Structure formats: structure tokens, C-alpha cells
Structure 1
Amino acid sequence: MSNNRADTARVEGRIGPQDHAESWHRLGSEEFDVVVIGGGVTGAGAALDAATRGLKVALVEARDLAAGTSSRSSKLFHGGLRYLEKLEFSLVREALHERELMLTRLAPHLVKPVSFLYPLTRRVWERPYTAAGLLLYDTMGGARSVPGQKHLTRAGAQRMVPALKRDAMVGGIRYYDAQADDARHTMTVARTASRYGAVVRTSTQVVEFLHDADRIAGVRVRDAEDGSETEVRAQAVINATGVWTDELQRLSGGRGRFRVRASKGVHIVVPRDRIVAETGMILRTEKSVLFVVPWDNHWIIGTTDTDWNLDLAHPSATRADIDYVLEHVNSVLATPLTQDDIEGVYAGLRPLLAGESDESSKLSREHAVARVAPGLVAIAGGKYTTYRVMAADAVDAVAGDVSGRIASSITDRVPLLGADGYHALVNQADQLASEYGLHPYRIRHLLDRYGAMTPDVLALADERPELLKAVPEAAEYLQVEVVYAVSHEGALHLEDVLTRRTRISIEYPHRGVDSAEPVARLMAEQLGWDEQRIAHEVEVYQARVEAERDSQIQPDDQAADERRAAAPEVRREISEPVS
């Protein structure tokens, strides 16, 4: 890579195809202060934290950025209202502080306020009880940059959410939290780490830990695309692999200080017009809570909370999971949702710290950091909203293994890529729309995905105006976004674009199948694919969707897992355990 190209890549935080090739060389030829394993939000956050402290950092991920838990959440940045009932005040206060940072300073282009109606179903005691909790929530920081709670009569709540049955509530309280596209946010954190010097490489699986006497001295990695291997030397390693923490711990040869349990959460996606409402909703269930989250032209409804002991890479939703979500949301809707209303389904695994209780929904969402061996730190637990705090704690924990004194964390003052200049571009949206011949709503949609990087995305169409047309059968996205996903955002496979760089796989009834070939052809121009490779990518993606659909009509986890396992891995050299 030429110096000019290297400088440009770093300034842009670009992780495109040529950067991917160069980073392999760097992994094998340079020595790092810290290697972070795992490209979820915690690993990406740890890489950013370490890089901005002046450390030399490498981040390796076996599959794709946010390929696991970090693309399959409820898409919320929230304080965790229900944790107040568990008296976990410090966790709620911490989460609300992080939410505020994201909304105002670190990622205002990605994290947005969202309102929820809490329907009251009991007279006399429930309103003051819930109001007291929400007052505490607001006082802890929940009402800094969003409105505080608002009390509604039954008629007022009905006007706000006409879709509710009249007898489903006696009144309601509206409050605010925040939401984000989790996969896009995680990818942006990783790109920001790259911007500050971290080597970020996906399709890079840890297969062995390197030892120097009694300490961990780095990792051996395998390229999940071609099977080649190299050694990555480092003074310290951070295991941020979420539900794979125990597997990586065994691979290191050490004994873990804590265990991680995987809890499956299933969400469904339905069209916005199926639920007539001006706000989201939060509903109590016998086990936990159910969120109805507004998501552009859709609603995301979930989640379930059950133990999962099968394939960690591809958790499967069952018919029972989907029926559970439908049953609970339909209990309050005047017009029930049906299976035919469902556009998308996704299942994710929460990495919960193993506790004494057998019920995953009762396990704490606190995180834990442990120095499990000289040169090796593991972090697990926690919740998406507090990823930055978790990352800082993990980097603090490797301080004793890294030569020299390391600076304190500063990521509370480091805006993510696209944040600086975002507000100015929002004010200029009409001019930008006129310049590119697009409707202003298109520009605003792009601004909420790329922030101040939006002109860089659009610039890819300067010589090819046809790229400003919508993706076939996925009208919410422009073709130029597919090109940018490859050239700047590290997408290497069709599923990376359809599932994570965009959310086509869950936002359209065809689950991305009808867009697969045209998207693959756009990617081919960037990645040098021939006709055979295009056909292979489309075939593997179609097999994935077919396997997921098949799993979603099975009665239990075992049957669903067997159906999902029928789909081939697109990264052919992946093996177990994976990071």
C-alpha cells in the first residue's frame, strides 16, 4: 500500500478489499501492544479504546463485524427500565449516561430518541408505582436530552396507539429511550478504531494462542477465506467473543474466572401499517418485557428469553418462539397480527454471566472482566448500551501486561465517524438532494446511516449516476450503498451486505432473495468476482434463507438447529471453535 493510500484509508477509517489484503501482511509482520478477538460491539469498542490511548492494536473477527449478537439485538440504546425493579441502580445510571453520550456527542447520526407507551392494566396502584420508577429513571439521566414521562388517560393512550384494544388498558405513560441500527453502529465503531490506527480484519479466525513461558504472547490466525495462517505477536490479548468466551478460554489452555451462558432472543419484523400507532410500546409478560419498536417503515417486536446450548453462530427461531411473540403482542392489539404479516425474523444470543438461577431472564446484565492468565484478559456479560464502559474496563485490565504507562480512556470524547458535521449536513439536506437529483427524504435516510460521510457515499456515483437508483426489490436502499459497503465498510460476502450493512434480510418478505443477484453483481465489480463466484454467493445466500425459513416452522430448538445447519458456510475455512 502506498503512503498516500495508507493515509487516505486511515483518515477515512476505510476497511475495503485492498485494506483487507494489506492488513493480513501487517498482522504477520508487526508486533502489537494489544490484539482484540471478536468483532462485536465490545471488541470493536476495545479496539477503539486502546487505539485512542496510543496503543498499537489489531482487531480480528472470524466472520464479519457484528455477525453475532451485535446485529441481532432489540436495536435499543436504553437504560434498562426493568432493571430498576431488580434494584440494579448502578447499571441503569451507567446505561443512561452512555445513552446520553451517544445521542448528543458520540453518535447523533446513528442513535435517535424513540418513545414508548407503557399501558397500565391495573387501577389504583400501578400508575403511582410505575410513575415512581420512571421518575427515578428520569432523575438518573433519562430525561436530559429527551422528554420526561407523560401520563395519559385511557382515551389519551388510545389516541396515541389506536391499534390497542380499548379493554387492554386503563391508561398509559409515555417515556423515551433511544434506538440504533446495531450492526451499522458496531461497524462504525470498528471503522473509527481503524481511523485511529487499529488494524481491523474480518474473516480472520483465532486457531491457537501463542505462549512465551507462562504468558500469552499473541495468537495464531487463519484466513477464513483461503485457509492461510500467520502468527500475530502481542503483549496482551483481549477475549471479547461474547457467547464464544468459554470456547476461546479452553483454546488458550487456561481456566476461566467466569462462565458465559447463551440466552436466545427472537424478534419478528412486521410492516408499519399493521399496527396503527404514533409510538412504540413496552408490554409486560410473565417472564420479562416485550418491546414493539418503530423501525422506519416497520415494527420490530420482541424478545424471547430462553437458554440456548446448540450452534452459537446460527441460533434458530422456532415456531414456538414466533408464536410466543405473536401471542403476547396480540393480547393487546385490536387487529391481531398473523404469520402472513411477518416480513422478517431474527434470533440472537445474549452472553450472560452464569449465575445461580436457572432462568436466563433473571441473570444480571452486569459485565465482568478477568485477567485469566498473564497476557490474556476476558470480558463478557453486559448490555449493548454499555459497550464503551466494558471496552474501557477491558483495556484497563491489560495495563499490567503492556510495557509503559497507558493513558486513561478518552472514548467519551471521541465521536464516531460521521458524527462531526452531521448536524450541519442535516440543515443542508435539501441542497444535497438537489445536487444529486434525489428526494430530500433519501438524503435524510442516508444521513441517519452515514452521517457526515454521506457526501463520500454519494461521490461514488459521480461517474456512475445509475448507482443512485434503488436496489432492485429493496427500495429503501440505493445501489451506491452496496458499492460503499464493499469499498469502505469491509463487506466481503453477499450476506454481509444483505444482512448487516443493510437490513434487507429482515425488512422484506423475500428476505433478500429477490435482491441477491443484482447486489452480488454490484459487489463483483469491487471484489473481482467472476460469473461462477457470483452464482456461488447467490446460491449460498438462498440456501441460508431457505434453511432459516425451514427452521422457523420447527417445534423446538433441536429440530430448528438441524434445519439451519443444512445451509453451507460462506466462509469456507471456518472451523470450531470460532471467535
Structure 2
Amino acid sequence: LPGEDAIMIPKTDDGRVLFAVPWHNKVVVGTTDTPLDEHSLEPMAKEEEIEFILKTAQKYLAKKPTRADVRSVFAGLRPLAAPKEGDTKTKEISRSHKLIVSESGLITITGGKWTTFRKMGEDTIDKAEEVAGMERRKSTSESLKVHGFEESTDYNDPLYFYGSDRDAIMEMAKENSSLKEKLHPDHEHIAAEVIWAARNEMARTVEDFLARRIRILFLDARVAMDMAETVAELMAGELGYDEEWISHQIKEFTTLANRYVLQEYTPKALETINSN
């Protein structure tokens, strides 16, 4: 997509809404809504969902996306607070959260979504104060500045999402020139980010870093697999792990990341491990 504007398709063939949102120089296209009876820690998109998204996006994007354009496919499970009456189709159920207080005073929150997490927390604490008979205090979370806050952001800086931590990461790279090395020739992430994540962000596995710190698994799963060896070696050096740990991490992450691609991929690092 040119620029930073997203596209919303308000009504698709089956009545669902489809989005195309620019994200870290890629475009995230979705979503689908499929009821499931079975649950998994790593849910996978169904083939019909992939085809639905591609087919619908082709109608609206100038460059019609094909399977070859897909860099990563990911899915998640969403808890929905079912209504007591009315339509029970998942696409019609409100994404709002509900608070339930049991006879014992246990507070349960259900439903909701990532984008309303702060309000969910505020409402839960307010309810806890009410149930416990505590003094009510007004929440300050709406204006609370989180770690890394800066008054302005330079989105052209590859490390902009670290906020105020960026300077500390660059200082590490300045003190040790090897930490300036890129993790992949086509991306701006550098070795210092791995060390920073292990020291300051509790990253303990390759997946921690590639999926939950720099998000590259969700942006380009093949690139993430190519990065795995370097990331594992850097983390092992920082955390005191051996070669066996490095090999295990590469194998484990490659297995996981292959769930995010449409065609199985074997990085060179894994080919070397398997040949030994």
C-alpha cells in the first residue's frame, strides 16, 4: 500500500469486514472469523480462510496478491462473551468484555480484545474495589506514560520502536562493533538488539526474540528462520548456553516458523545441523 493509510472493506461476499493495514513496511490483510471446537497454543489458519483473504484482496488492491506474495500467515483464538439471547453467530457477537462476580467474590473477566486491554484492566480494578469495599480511586492508566515513552518519534529510524531505549542499544553497538552487524542482509535489525533483549527484556529463546520482540516471524517467516542461527549464537553467548542448546533452538524455531509459511522452508543452518 502506498503511504500509511489502511483499507477497510466494509462488506465482503460473506458479510465480514476485511482490512489491509500497513505494518513495518509490509501489509497485514485479514481477518477471518471461524468458530472452533478444538483449541491449540499455535492455531493455524485454515486453507479456506487463506483463499478467502487472497480472493477478496485481489478485488481491491492494484497489485493482486497471490500465494507467492504471502510472507507469513498467522491466526489466533479470540474469546467471545456470548449474549444471553439474540444472534449467536460469531461475527455478530460484540467484542466488548464482561465482568462476572461469583458468590465467593471471585472476579472473572471474559471477552474483550487487545485494543481495549487498558479499559479492561481499569474496569476490573474498579470492580475489585467495589467487591472488597475498598476506597474508590480514579484510574490514572489512561494518561500513564509507559516505559520508553518519548515526546516525538522518528519513524525513519529502524530502532524507533524501542523509544528511549534506543540510545542504550546504540551505545552497546558503539562499544562493540560486532553488535552493529545486521541479523539479515535485507533487514535493519542488528546484533545489539538480541543482547539487549536477553539482558533487559527477559528474552530466553530464539522464539522470544524473533516473534515477541522484533515481530519478524509475523512479517516474514522465512527471514525469521534465516535469522535463527545468528540469534541463537548471540543469545547463547550472553546467557551461557552451549552448542547443543543452539542446535535445539534452531530446530525448534524452524519447526514453529514453518507453520507460518504456505510452503515448507529449510534454512541453511538447519541443513548443516542435519548433515552433521
How has the CA–CA distance of structure 1 residues 381 and 482 changed in structure 2, closer, same or farther, with 3 Å as cutoff?
same
Residue matched to 2:269: none
- Residue 308 of structure 1 deviates from its aligned partner by 2.0
1:446 and 2:153 are equivalent in the alignment: no
Residue matched to 2:108: 378
For 1:123-181, what per-residue CA distance to the aligned partner results, in whole angstroms no more than 9, with x for missing partners? xxxxxxxxxxxxxxxxxxxxxxxxxxxxxxxxxxxxxxxxxxxxxxxxxxxxxxxxxxx
Counterpart mapping for 1:386-397 below 5 A: 386-397=116-127
- Residue 474 of structure 1 deviates from its aligned partner by 5.4
Q: Is the Cα contact below 8 Å between 2:21 and 2:29 reproduced in 1? A: yes
How has the CA–CA distance of structure 1 residues 409 and 509 changed in structure 2, closer, same or farther, with 3 Å as cutoff?
closer
Q: Is the Cα contact below 8 Å between 2:184 and 2:223 reproduced in 1? A: no
Counterpart mapping for 1:219-368 below 5 A: 275=1, 279-283=5-9, 284-285=11-12, 286-355=14-83, 356=85, 357-368=87-98
For 1:413-456, what per-residue CA distance to the aligned partner results, in whole angstroms no more than 9, with x for missing partners? 3111111x442xx5xx7xxxxxxxxxx94xx2312x11122112
Residue matched to 1:24: none
Distance in 2 between residues matched to 1:278 and 1:395, nearest whole Å: 36
TM-score normalised to the size of structure 1?
0.42
- Residue 533 of structure 1 deviates from its aligned partner by 0.8
Distance in 2 between residues matched to 1:387 and 1:538, nearest whole Å: 33
Distance in 1 between residues matched to 2:173 and 2:4, nearest whole Å: 36
Higher strand share: 1
Distance in 2 between residues matched to 1:295 and 1:542, nearest whole Å: 23
1:411 and 2:123 are equivalent in the alignment: no
Choose which of 494, 507, 515 in structure 1 pairs with 2:227.
515
Stretches of structure 2 that go unaligned for 5 or more consecutive residues are 264-276
What SS is found at the alignment partner of 2:209?
helix
Taking only aligned residues, the RMSD between alpha carbons, in angstroms, comes to: 2.4
How has the CA–CA distance of structure 1 residues 451 and 537 changed in structure 2, closer, same or farther, with 3 Å as cutoff?
same
Residue matched to 1:463: 175
TM-score normalised to the size of structure 2?
0.84
Stretches of structure 1 that go unaligned for 5 or more consecutive residues are 1-274, 430-439, 554-579
Distance in 2 between residues matched to 1:483 and 1:291, nearest whole Å: 35
Q: Is the Cα contact below 8 Å between 2:130 and 2:136 reproduced in 1? A: no
- Residue 406 of structure 1 deviates from its aligned partner by 5.9
Distance in 2 between residues matched to 1:502 and 1:324, nearest whole Å: 28
For 1:510-538, what per-residue CA distance to the aligned partner results, in whole angstroms no more than 9, with x for missing partners? 15111101011111123221111111111
Q: Is the Cα contact below 8 Å between 1:469 and 1:478 reproduced in 2? A: yes
Residue matched to 2:255: 543
Q: Is the Cα contact below 8 Å between 1:399 and 1:405 reproduced in 2? A: yes
Q: Which has the higher contact order (CA 8 A, sep 6+)?
A: 1
- The one-letter amino acid of 1:398's match is A
What SS is found at the alignment partner of 1:353?
coil
Distance in 1 between residues matched to 2:259 and 2:70, nearest whole Å: 17
Distance in 1 between residues matched to 2:136 and 2:174, nearest whole Å: 44
Distance in 1 between residues matched to 2:129 and 2:220, nearest whole Å: 46
- Residue 342 of structure 1 deviates from its aligned partner by 0.7
How has the CA–CA distance of structure 1 residues 373 and 542 changed in structure 2, closer, same or farther, with 3 Å as cutoff?
farther
Higher Cα Rg, which structure: 1
Distance in 1 between residues matched to 2:37 and 2:196, nearest whole Å: 37
- The one-letter amino acid of 1:475's match is H
Counterpart mapping for 1:420-435 below 5 A: 421-423=150-152, 426=153
Residue matched to 1:483: 195
Q: Percent identity?
A: 31
For 1:101-124, what per-residue CA distance to the aligned partner results, in whole angstroms no more than 9, with x for missing partners? xxxxxxxxxxxxxxxxxxxxxxxx
What SS is found at the alignment partner of 2:159?
helix
